Amino acid sequence: MRRLLVVVLCVAAVAAACSGSGSRSPVRVGALYPLSGTQGTGGTEEERGVTLAIEWANAHGGVNGRPARLQTVDASRAEAVPDALSALRRRGVSVVLGSHGSSISAVAASLAGRENLSFWETGAVGEVGPATIGGRSFFRLAPMGANLGRAAIDFVRQELAPKLAAGQALRYAVARVDDPYGRAVGEGAAARVRESGQQLVGDFPYDAHSSDFAPLAAQIAAVHPDVLFVAAYLDDGVALRRATVAAHVPLLASIGTSSSYCMPAFGKTLGPAAVGLFASDKPDAADVRLDALRPEGTRALTWVRDRYRARYHEDMSAFALSGFSGAYALLVHVLPAARELSPSGVAAAAARVKLVEGTLANGGGLDLAPAGAADAGENRAASGVIWEWVGPGQRAVVWPPTFATHPIAVLPLAR
């Protein structure tokens, strides 16, 4: 009898020890980014931000005492996503951060449910397909593309229009790449023009890989817009701007969005031809005002800016800050609130956790739209700002006032 008691006690003790070691086993978090190919530079920067968020989380107690471990896979193009997700699944991952590129994001979002994964988009703003289960297996921490487009039109209508043409209705045109990114942003802008009773005189989807933008500029000129909204990538955005200048399109204002108009290379390449252009996008780390953040956001931004510069010898880009802030929200707030790290457990926590704007290092907060909502899984408290090229190669945040580092300057556009 005594022998049996000893055995039972030993088994119980070891079982308890096993249980304890299980709770301290690493939480494996997947990272799916383009680390090579045409989007490799931006994807790498965003993944670096995620890496630093993992470090922050582990230095502050991990996920309920469990260390977080990042499992990274390179998906340089959309077609690589199915295999990459399967590879993460085999490594024991149930939560995946990604993906920087809208084409990659659209595929990952639609496959996440089938793979029993929870996919968290940190950077891409493009539309996702009907197979996506927003609020359950897909969440977007970055601004939704349509919201960037709407914010751009709101800015023009509320802030610029009174200064440009007092009392007169402006004529708007939209030029956009014909892919998930361009559709999401461009259609958001076009919808806002219509909703707000403005005049939409043209909507011009185009092939980003086109080599001649003169015909597109001529089409735009033919509808006589006052304001041109552009959803472009860098090369086509530069080419389209040059073409509209060459075609002497008499624009009063032009506003673009992420991946082109707000990128340093855009202003550097165009020089004076970029001055006076606006962009609706995410903020860079160097341009977030610390006084606009809550204490938690200030602490995180101060730490990550210094850490990023020390490690990578450059300032944190908008991509890197977006990756850090999104991963931070997931690791520091959502996962610790989850009863289990299955996709359903994480989704339940995601629905509960709310962070007011300014809590995250990029100025954003967290308010994920619940499953079933029209914008299910989208972050309604994501941060977005309006940039302006205030001089050759010189850009500044001009709106909203909380984040502005420079007043709005109504400058004549080159033509």
Residues in contact with other proteins by the rule CB under 8 A: 3-4, 6-7, 10-11, 14-15, 17-18, 21-22, 25-28, 36-42, 66, 76-83, 86-87, 89-90, 92-95, 101-104, 107, 110-111, 115-116, 129, 177, 179, 208-209, 233-236, 259-260, 263, 265, 268-271, 340-342, 345
- Which CB, 231 or 253, lies closer to other proteins? 231
Question: Smallest distance, Å, CB 13 to other proteins?
Answer: 9
The sign one gets for the Cα dihedral 399, 146, 192, 242 is: positive
Give the 3-state secondary structure of residue 362.
Answer: coil
Rounded least distance, CB 342 to other proteins, Å: 4
**65 or 295, CB closer to other proteins?**
65
CB of 163 to other proteins, least distance (A): 29
Q: Select 159 or 178, whichever has its Cβ closest to other proteins.
A: 178
Half-sphere exposure (Cβ direction) of 251: Cα atoms closer than 13 Å: 34
Cβ at position 223, least distance to other proteins in Å = 25
Q: Between 179 and 287, whose beta carbon lies closer to other proteins? A: 179
The whole-angstrom separation of Cα 175 and Cα 182 is: 9
Shortest Å distance, C-beta 132 to other proteins = 11
Q: Structure tokens of 373?
A: 């909502």
| Distance in Å, CB of 133 to other proteins, minimum | 15
Beta carbons within 8 Å of 357's beta carbon, 6+ residues apart? 363, 364, 365, 381, 383
Closest to other proteins by CB, 104 vs 350, is 104
Beta strands 385-391 and 278-281, pairing class? antiparallel
Give the nearer residue to other proteins in terms of CB position, either 260 or 359: 260
Question: By C-beta, is 128 or 404 nearer to other proteins?
Answer: 128
* Minimum distance, C-beta of residue 25 to other proteins, in the bound complex (Å): 4
Please give the Cα distance from 220 to 375 (Å, whole number).
31
Helix-strand-coil percent breakdown of the chain, rounded to 5? 45, 20, 35
Residue 131, classified by CB atoms within 10 Å of its CB into exposed (0-12), middle (13-18) or buried (19+), is middle
CA distance linking residue 216 with residue 205, whole number of Å: 9
DSSP string, 190-238: HHHHHHTT-EEEEEEEE-TT-S--HHHHHHHHHT--SEEEEE--HHHHH
